[in-house]
């Protein structure tokens, strides 16, 4: 709306006053003592002028206020085709770029995946050079009620399972911002259903579109399990606490002992992130449950005792640090896993210590380079495959006492939803009987996409 020019207002008022003062008295009206004098007429004109100026100032204030309101409405207007953003959460997987979502009714639909080629040396997982769909998943999200959502992850392909493997990933009901009922924002949120085990932070960037490399760290601790999870934040602190069944993908839990996992994070500055995680798998029934829900080094946490073993479990601790500098991100993690079981024939208690260091450097116009060094140590030995043959080192009888993995990669991001990556990984180590682990190096290339 155009404002009335103030200089034109002053000119109009001045012209009016001059014209009024110049008006002659009519000849047929003789002056009398009752007629107002010229001085009185001028005073009346001055008062009318002051009133007009005040009225114009008032109108100008109204016009300016209306103009500001129109500008605010224009800046906050949303196009008809825009879709609502995903509800915020402390523990949502952070993507390299937000994915475009399609909306069908109230359902938000998105997904991501990757196609790849893997070629390893003779003792690696891909000794025959495999072309494959590396991963594919469909994500569905819909509002249920005020601040209550349902989230579903449908997995079509996973690197850990060859071929098409249609099954559920995460599936949960999410009640957000329950703490607003006592005046605190985002202090308490709840999820119930099938959720990620909130241990460490590598799982938050594990999918192909988010991972700066193609491989994962040597230990690669992650898992999905049924249970309930609370999460929230207060100031520079955030937390996640989950109670879950413990064994892998079973309709029934055969023990009352549950998995308990917690993570506490602290962000003292915008460039520094710290967190500590602790977890216990709970007691796993060896006969009926077989495996823990935790995935470790290309296999599950499992019993290493004799067939007479009835129960096994593991306790875990880990610390994570991330430093974000202009163009550079440095991440490190380290921890310990303590294993025990009820084997009457031997004492199988042991510890696995591990760590990883990762650096990601932005290069010219969409290019990035990444490197990760990770190691694990277990003097008594534990089943860890890394990029080696999983059937031999993760599910077979061979136990590894130490293992080292160096992964070097480069990538180019064509758009927020498309990235191409190439990587070479060098792995070596020793088994518990002092034999070398070699000929496991892996070359890989992948195109990761979101939709």
The beta-carbon contacts of 41-48 under 8 Å, at least 24 apart in sequence, are 45/17, 45/20, 45/21
H/E element, 426: strand 418-431
Token couple for 442: 């892996």
CA distance 446 to 423: 9
16: helix, coil or strand? helix
What's the chain's Rg over C-alpha atoms? 35
Instruction: Provide CB contacts within 8 A for 235, sequence distance 6+.
Output: none
What pLDDT score was predicted for residue 69?
Answer: 57
CA distance 219 to 44: 93
Q: How far is residue 206 from each of residues 142, 202, 447, measured CA to CA in Å?
A: 24, 6, 15
Q: What is the pTM of this model?
A: 0.77
Q: Note the CATH number of domain 102-450.
A: 2.40.160.10
Q: Where are the alpha helices (DSSP H) in 310-430?
A: 390-393
What pLDDT score was predicted for residue 161?
Answer: 83
The pLDDT tens digits of the residues spanning 135-164 come to 999 999 999 999 999 999 999 999 888 788
Residues of the chain with pLDDT under 70: 1-37, 39-42, 49, 51-56, 58-105, 251
- CA atoms in the 13 A half-sphere facing the CB of 37: 4
Token couple for 170: 């995460």
What pLDDT score was predicted for residue 167?
Answer: 87
CA distance 246 to 286: 12
**Which residue, among 165, 113, 163, has the nearest Cα to 139 in the 3D structure?**
113
What pLDDT score was predicted for residue 160?
Answer: 85
The pLDDT tens digits of the residues spanning 14-59 come to 434 444 444 443 334 444 444 456 766 667 777 776 766 666 676 6
DSSP track, 391-424: HHHTSSS--EEEEEEEEEEEEEEEETTEEEEEEE
What pLDDT score was predicted for residue 447?
Answer: 98
Backbone φ and ψ of 99, nearest 5°: -85, 145
What pLDDT score was predicted for residue 64?
Answer: 66
Instruction: Provide CB contacts within 8 A for 227, sequence distance 6+.
Output: 192, 195, 242, 243, 244, 245, 258, 259
Which region, left, alpha or beta, applies to residue 321 given φ > 0 means left and ψ of -120 to 50 means alpha?
beta
Tell me the domain boundaries of the chain: 102-450
**Which residue, among 221, 240, 216, has the nearest Cα to 90 in the 3D structure?**
240
Token couple for 336: 């310990």
Q: Where are the alpha helices (DSSP H) in 23-166?
A: 38-76
Q: Is the dihedral of CA 355, 297, 266, 360 positive or negative?
A: positive
Length of the chain: 451
71: helix, coil or strand? helix
3-state helix, strand, coil in the chain (%, to 5): 15, 50, 35
Measure the CA angle with vertex 265, ends 263 and 269; round to 5°: 170
CA distance 187 to 387: 40
């Amino acid at each position: 709306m155009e404002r009335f020019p103030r200089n034109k207002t002053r000119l109009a008022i001045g012209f009016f006053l001059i014209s009024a003062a110049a008006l002659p008295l009519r000849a047929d009206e003789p002056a009398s003592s009752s007629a107002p004098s010229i001085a009185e007429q001028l005073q009346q004109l001055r008062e009318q002028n002051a009133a007009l100026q005040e009225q114009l100032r008032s109108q100008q204030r109204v016009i300016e206020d209306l103009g500001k309101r129109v500008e605010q409405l224009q800046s906050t207007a949303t196009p008809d085709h825009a879709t609502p953003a995903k509800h915020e959460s402390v523990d949502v997987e952070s993507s390299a770029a937000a994915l475009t979502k399609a909306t069908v009714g109230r359902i938000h639909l998105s997904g991501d995946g990757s196609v790849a080629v893997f070629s390893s040396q003779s003792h690696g997982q891909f000794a025959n050079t495999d072309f494959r769909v590396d991963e594919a998943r469909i994500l569905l999200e819909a509002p249920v009620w005020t601040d209550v959502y349902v989230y579903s992850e449908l997995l079509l392909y996973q690197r850990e399972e060859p071929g098409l493997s249609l099954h559920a990933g995460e599936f949960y009901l999410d009640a957000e911002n329950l703490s607003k009922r006592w005046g605190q924002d985002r202090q308490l949120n709840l999820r119930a259903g099938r959720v990620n085990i909130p241990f460490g932070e590598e799982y938050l960037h594990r999918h192909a579109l988010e991972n700066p490399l193609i491989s994962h760290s040597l230990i690669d601790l992650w898992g999905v399990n049924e249970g309930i999870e609370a999460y929230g934040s207060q100031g520079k602190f955030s937390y996640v606490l989950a109670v879950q069944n413990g064994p892998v993908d079973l309709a029934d839990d055969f023990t009352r002992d549950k998995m308990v996992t917690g993570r506490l994070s602290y962000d003292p500055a915008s460039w520094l992130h710290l967190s500590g995680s602790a977890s216990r798998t709970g007691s796993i029934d060896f006969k009926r449950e077989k495996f823990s829900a935790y995935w470790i080094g290309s296999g599950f946490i499992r019993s290493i005792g004799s067939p007479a073993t009835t129960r096994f479990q593991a306790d875990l601790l880990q610390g994570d640090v991330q430093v974000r500098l202009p163009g550079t991100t440095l991440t490190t993690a380290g921890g310990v896993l303590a294993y025990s079981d009820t084997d009457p024939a031997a004492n199988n208690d042991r510890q696995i210590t591990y760590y990883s260091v990762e650096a990601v450097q932005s290069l010219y116009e969409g290019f990035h380079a990444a490197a990760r060094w990770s190691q694990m140590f277990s003097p008594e030995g534990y089943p860890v495959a890394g990029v080696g043959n999983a059937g031999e080192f993760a599910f077979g009888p061979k136990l590894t006492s130490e293992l080292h993995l160096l992964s070097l990669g480069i990538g180019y991001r064509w758009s927020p939803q498309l990235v191409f990556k190439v990587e070479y990984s060098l792995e070596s180590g020793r088994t518990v009987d002092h034999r070398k682990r070699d000929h496991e190096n892996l070359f890989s290339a992948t195109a990761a996409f979101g939709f």
